[in-house]
Amino acid sequence: MICVSLSARVPADALAGMEEAREAGADLVELRGDFLEEPADLPGLVARRTLPVLVAVRPAWEGGRWKGEEEERVRLLEAACAAGAEYVDVEFRAYKDFRRAGARLVLSYHDFEGIPASLDRTVAKMKALDPFLVKVAVTAGGAADLVRCVRLQKTIGVPSAVIAMGEAGQALRILYRRYGGFLTYACPRPGAETAPGQVPPSEIAGEADEVFAVVGNPVSHSRSPALFNAAFRALGRSAHYVRIPLEDPALLPEVVEALELRGVSVTIPHKEKVAEMVGSKEPVNTVVVREGRLEGHNTDGPAAVEALGEVRGRRVLVLGSGGAARAIVGALERAGARVAIASRRAGTWERRGATDAEIVVNATSVGMGTDESPFPAEAWRPGMTAFDVVYTPRDTRFLRDARAAGARTVDGVEMFVRQAARQFALFTGAEMPADVIRRFQES
């Protein structure tokens, strides 16, 4: 079930929020009495509901806004149940004071700072109280926490909702049913989150036979989930692709095992570390999981060469010596280009403007989310080609400078879709549909 959390301050907004939630695909809404300017409006609001409701009046000591008397809070919840609320959320720490009053009990536990060491014991006590649903909402600071929450959801053994709050926990919110969850919380629309990491119902997959992910640090810029999920939908495949922030690549095998990933796209800055881990000589941007074994591939190099067109005999300057750069240099050399490298690591960075190259490739992350170019504007000449691997934004300063000087440009999306299509084939054995690729290129 998808529960959209509303944070309305007045009843009219809550009623409008219910309609918006229904249209967005919610099965029920969470009405938060502690957000209402007049919490006493809660029972009347429940009586006028147009979707099943889960009521909560979250106290400040559990991360909510209610600062009034505890007895009054319990009375309010009981009145909301008497008005017909289908579900009532009562904090594990307040359970002893509460009479169920007809509604189904969601017994909840929240931690907005992290995951307490004692969580397993708390969960055992919550299960023993036999509520309708055990809700555990903790904060995932990274991939290790996500793994812990997914494992808890998979093994908890009672109807439950394990929520890993924060960006690191989004995969569990999105694929909650895949890992055994009964309920997930969503926001009505982006920007209206009531807890960190919520996504709108349209982004919730629930189930999927096959799960894939992009891992990196940062990873929020990645457009791979949009492209892969559009391709899975077009093929009617029960598969879903999520984003997982991964601070330490050594955690990758655990992430793969816990989330039962079939394939992984590896992005900045882990391509070289992952190559070491899986025993690959080339940087790895694609991991295929075969019978639990991680198999490394690289689709960046061939995709870059394909995006550039014929490069045999051409003089190419590659900026950078990270994962993408090394893969591109290897592929360019195999395709017969004459390659020079300018990078901080190689000690050749300062001389990058003094080049006779016909093609300059930005394979650094400079320009990703910023308006900077790694190449001096005055070094561009007409007839040169500028190729940027950075694709967020699509039209980078590097490309604009080149165009202004009369150079030809190839943007990062041209490489992105090609490396993704090759990954898709490695992951699934199927071709990424051409119209999905075209729509993505045009978007």
Nearest approach, Cβ of 346 to ligand NAP (angstroms)?
9
Give the 3-state secondary structure percentages of the chain, helix then strand then coil, rounded to 5.
Answer: 40, 20, 40
Give residue for tokens 């219910």.
18
Q: Is 390 in the site for ligand NAP (CB under 6 A)?
A: yes
Residue 177, token pair as written in the block:
């049913």
Q: Which two tokens stand for residue 5?
A: 């959390």
**Binding to ligand NAP (CB under 6 A): which residues in 352-381?**
364-366, 368, 374
Burial degree of 81 (CB within 10 A; 0-12, 13-18, 19+): buried
Q: C-beta of 268: minimal distance to ligand NAP in Å?
A: 4
Nearest-approach distance from CB 342 to ligand NAP, in angstroms:
9
Show the site string, 296-335: x = touches ligand NAP by CB under 6 A, - = not: ----x-------------------xxxxxx----------
Order of strands, sheet of 184-186, starting from the edge strand that comes earlier in the sequence: 160-165, 133-139, 104-110, 87-91, 53-56, 28-32, 2-5, 184-186
Strand 261-266 relative to strand 286-290, pairing: antiparallel
Of positions 164, 389, 410, 437, contacts ligand NAP by CB under 6 A: 389
DSSP one-letter string for 51-69: S-EEEE--BGGGTSSB-S-
Which DSSP symbol is given to 377? Answer: G
- 33 vs 225 by CB, closer to ligand NAP: 225
Between 199 and 268, name the residue whose CB sits nearer to ligand NAP.
Answer: 268
Question: Which of 198, 224, 343, 373 is close enough to bind ligand NAP by CB under 6 A?
Answer: 343
Q: Would you say 26 or 308 has its CB closer to ligand NAP?
A: 308
Measured from the CB atom, is 184 or 343 closer to ligand NAP?
343
Q: Provide the Cα torsion 321, 356, 419, 170; round to 10°.
A: 50
Q: How far is the CB of 412 from ligand NAP (least distance, A)?
A: 4
Task: State the nearest-atom distance from the C-beta of 171 to ligand NAP, in Å.
Answer: 20
Furthest C-alpha separation in the chain: 81
Binding string, residues 395-424; x marks residues near ligand NAP by CB under 6 A? -----------------x--xx--x-----
CB of 321 to ligand NAP, least distance (A): 5
In the complex with ligand NAP, the residue whose CB is nearer, 21 or 303, is 303
Q: What residues numbered 238-277 form the site for ligand NAP, per CB under 6 A?
A: 267-269, 271
Cis status, amide bond into 283, omega within 30 of 0 = no
- Taking alpha carbons only, the member of 81, 86, 162 closest to residue 126 is 162
Among 92, 232, 375, 391, binds ligand NAP (CB under 6 A): 391
Q: Which stretch binds ligand NAP (CB under 6 A): 49-57, 81-89, 193-201, 337-345?
A: 337-345
Respond yes or no: is residue 125 known to be catalytic.
Answer: no
- Can you tell me whether residue 282 is helix, strand or coil? coil
- CA distances to 30, 75, 78, 98 from 71, in Å: 21, 6, 11, 10
Instruction: Tell me the backbone φ, ψ of residue 369, rounded to 5 degrees.
Output: 75, 5
In the complex with ligand NAP, the residue whose CB is nearer, 164 or 252, is 252
Closest-by-Cβ residue to ligand NAP is 322
Residue whose CB is less far from ligand NAP, 19 or 372: 372
Please choose, from the candidates 220, 226, 255, 219, the residue with its C-alpha nearest in 3D space to the C-alpha of residue 241: 226
Catalytic residue among 67, 96, 135, 271: 271
Beta strands in 291-405 (DSSP E): 293-297, 315-319, 338-342, 359-362, 385-388
Q: Find the shortest distance in angstroms from Cβ 323 to ligand NAP.
A: 4
Catalytic residue numbers, as ranges:
271
Q: Contact residues for ligand NAP (CB under 6 A)?
A: 267-269, 271, 300, 320-325, 343-345, 364-366, 368, 374, 389-391, 412, 415-416, 419
